[in-house]
Amino acid sequence: MIYNFSAPAKINLGLEVLNKRDDNFHNIKTIFQFLDWGDEISLDTNTEETKIICSDLPQEENIIHKLLSILGEKNVFTKKIKIEVKKKIPFKSGLGGASSNAASVLLALNKIFKLELNSKELFRIALSLGSDVPIFIHGESCEAFGRGEVFKKISLQEKPILIILPNCKISTKEAFENIGSFNNKPKNKKIYINHFETWARKKHDEINESFLWIEKYNEAFLSGTGSTIFSLFNNFDEATKIMDNAPSNMNCFVTTTLNNSPIKNEIKNYGV
C-alpha cells in the first residue's frame, strides 16, 4: 500500500545564539513557524527491499536512512519500505527540509505500523537526528530554546510570505563554527534578530543583493543560518505585486505561514 504525506518547510523568526554548550552545541533563541509549502513524500509498504529515492542524494547520505538505521538498531522497526521524496525545499537553505523529511517519516511509521512510540520517545529519536527535527515532531509554532528543542507556546498570526531562494548554499555546521569570528549584531534594528544575517550577507553577494532588493519594499529576514530570505505581508495582493517586480534571475514565490504542521492531520487515519 502507498501512503502520501507532506514535509513542510519551517522559517525562523529570528535566530539568536546565546552561548556554546559543553556538548559543543549552542544554546539558541528562536521562533518557529511553518510554511504552506514543502516536500511531498510517498511511502510504499509493498516492496522486497528498503529504498529511499530523493533527488540526486545518495541513499546512505539521506537523513531518512539514518532514521531507519536507528529504528532498526533499537529493533523498533525492521520492515522493508520504499520511500520517495519529491523535493521542493532546497538543501542547505535554512528551511529545515531534511529535518522535516525525517520527522514526517517517523510520525508516519509510528502511525501506520502502530509502533506506539510516545511523545518522549519520538522527541528523543528526533533530537538524535538533528537539532531541527524536534520542531517538526512538535508540529506547532512556538518560541524555542536550548538546541531548539525546548518549546514555549506563542501566539502568531498566519500571514502571506514572500520567499526568496538564492542559489548559494550555507552549511549550518560552517555557520556555527564561525559564529565567534564575526559581529553578529545586525546594522539595523529589526523586529526579529538573526545573528547570522550580517555574516551571510558578507559571505554571499547573492544574499546581500536579494536583501537590498526586497528591503526597498518591505522588511526582510534570514531564515535559520540561511540562505533563504523572507518578507511578511498583511495581504496576498501586496506580496504578489512585489514578487511580480522581482529581477528575472530571482527564484521567489508567495505562500502563507502556518501555525500547525499539516502532517498530523494527514496521517490521522493511517493504520486504523
- List active site positions: 10, 132
The torsion region of residue 139 among left (phi > 0), alpha (psi -120 to 50) and beta comes to left
CA distances from 268 to 9, 18, 104, 131, 271 (A): 20, 37, 12, 25, 8
The grid coordinates of residue 248 equal 528575472
**What whole-number distance in Å separates Cα of residue 225 and Cα of residue 228?**
8
10 close to 33: Cβ distance less than 8 angstroms: yes
For residues 77-96, one letter each, b for 16 or more C-beta atoms within 10 angstroms of the residue's C-beta and e for the rest, the string is: beeebbbebebbbbebbbbb
